């Protein structure tokens, strides 16, 4: 059972489940882009006005669709909330479950590779099913429904994966943190390496609890962390 695996095997299972979530993250955007201009899909949502500017003003398109098909807009809202949770939670989970700093770089590369894979998969699936729409108008449902496959696989994995050691330590559930660290390392709970990593996590949490937060630090930070500079650099990269 997955609940019994540990060490290197566990490190292979975690990226598989988290990778499925990341593929869903970009598949959701790619799959709609391939079918939203087909006649059959537009008929299903009542042919809203402004179809020619869908790629430019997607929000107006969604509002127009809501007037004709409530199911479409409700589904997109629910899916969007789930995608937002994936985008924020999965990278943090993988980072906190990585016990060595050198493991985090390859994990980021793995996540980005799956983002590209999810987009390519969505486009090819759209291409295959759109070809048969004239003979079977209902085929546009299939690419959208296939999103559930990624979600089911990911949700199934969550039943067997623990919360992160940091999460347990933050809530003062130290024995459970020891158990997760031991499982990740494939070592006994009282092993010096397990205890050393737990102490590092506790020290980090203690430092955060005693740190003073100032909103101005988000824009200008003279500490060793240079938070403001990193944020400014990120925004410049986005607009470059």
Q: Do 176 and 212 share a domain, yes or no?
A: yes
Instruction: Indicate the residue among 133, 158, 183 that finishes a domain.
Output: 158
Query: Per residue in 56-92, pLDDT tens?
Result: 445 555 555 555 567 767 777 787 787 788 878 888 8
Domain hosting residue 200, numbered range: 165-239
Q: Read out DSSP for 122-143?
A: HHHHHHHHHTTTTT-GGGGHHH
Instruction: Indicate the residue among 158, 182, 202 that finishes a domain.
Output: 158
Q: Do 129 and 110 share a domain, yes or no?
A: yes
Q: Do 14 and 39 share a domain, yes or no?
A: yes
Total count of domains within the chain: 2
Q: Do 129 and 222 share a domain, yes or no?
A: no
pLDDT at 200 over 80: yes
Query: Per residue in 157-172, pLDDT tens?
Result: 777 788 888 889 888 8
The predicted structure's pLDDT at residue 69: 62
Rounded to two decimals, the pTM is: 0.67
Q: Do 123 and 233 share a domain, yes or no?
A: no
Q: Do 51 and 91 share a domain, yes or no?
A: yes
The predicted structure's pLDDT at residue 57: 43
Mean of per-residue pLDDT scores for the chain: 75
User: What is the C-alpha separation between 163 and 87, in angstroms, rounded?
Assistant: 17
Q: Give the CA count within 13 Å in the CB-facing half-sphere of 216.
A: 3
Q: How many residues does the chain have?
A: 240
Instruction: Indicate the residue among 139, 158, 177 that finishes a domain.
Output: 158
User: What is the C-alpha separation between 28 and 38, in angstroms, rounded?
Assistant: 17
Nearest to 154 by CA among 109, 94, 98: 94
Please, what sign has the CA dihedral across residues 221, 223, 229, 230?
negative
- Region 8-34 average pLDDT: 78
Q: Do 200 and 115 share a domain, yes or no?
A: no
pLDDT band with cut points at 50, 70 and 90 for residue 150: confident
Cα 87–chain centre separation: 3
Q: Do 91 and 186 share a domain, yes or no?
A: no
Q: Do 76 and 11 share a domain, yes or no?
A: yes
CB 36 within 8 A of CB 173: no
Query: Which residues have a Cβ under 8 Å from the Cβ of 79 and sit 6 or more positions away?
Result: 28, 147
Nearest to 154 by CA among 25, 6, 7, 4: 25
pLDDT at 149 over 60: yes
The DSSP H or E segment spanning 227 is helix 227-239
Nearest to 193 by CA among 185, 201, 202, 183: 185
């Amino acid at each position: 059972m997955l609940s019994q695996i540990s060490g290197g095997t566990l490190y292979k299972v975690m990226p598989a489940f988290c990778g499925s979530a990341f593929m869903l993250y970009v598949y959701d955007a790619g799959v709609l882009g391939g079918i939203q201009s087909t006649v059959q899909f537009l008929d299903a949502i009542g042919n809203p006005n402004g179809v020619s500017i869908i790629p430019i003003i997607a929000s107006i398109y969604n509002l127009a669709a809501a007037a004709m098909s409530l199911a479409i807009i409700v589904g997109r809202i629910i899916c969007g909330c789930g995608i937002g949770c994936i985008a924020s939670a999965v990278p943090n989970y993988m980072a906190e479950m990585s016990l060595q700093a050198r493991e985090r770089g390859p994990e980021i590369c793995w996540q980005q590779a799956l983002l590209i894979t999810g987009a390519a998969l969505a486009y090819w699936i759209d291409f295959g099913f759109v070809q048969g729409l004239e003979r079977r108008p209902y085929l546009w449902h299939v690419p959208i429904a296939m999103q559930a496959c990624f979600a089911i696989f990911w949700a199934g994995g969550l039943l067997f994966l623990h919360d992160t050691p940091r999460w347990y330590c933050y809530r003062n559930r130290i024995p459970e943190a020891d158990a997760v660290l031991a499982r990740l390392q494939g070592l006994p709970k009282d092993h010096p390496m397990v205890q050393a990593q737990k102490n590092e996590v506790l020290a980090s949490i203690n430092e955060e609890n005693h740190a003073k937060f100032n909103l101005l630090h988000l824009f200008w930070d003279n500490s060793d962390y240079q938070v403001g500079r990193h944020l400014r650099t990120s925004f410049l990269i986005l607009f470059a």
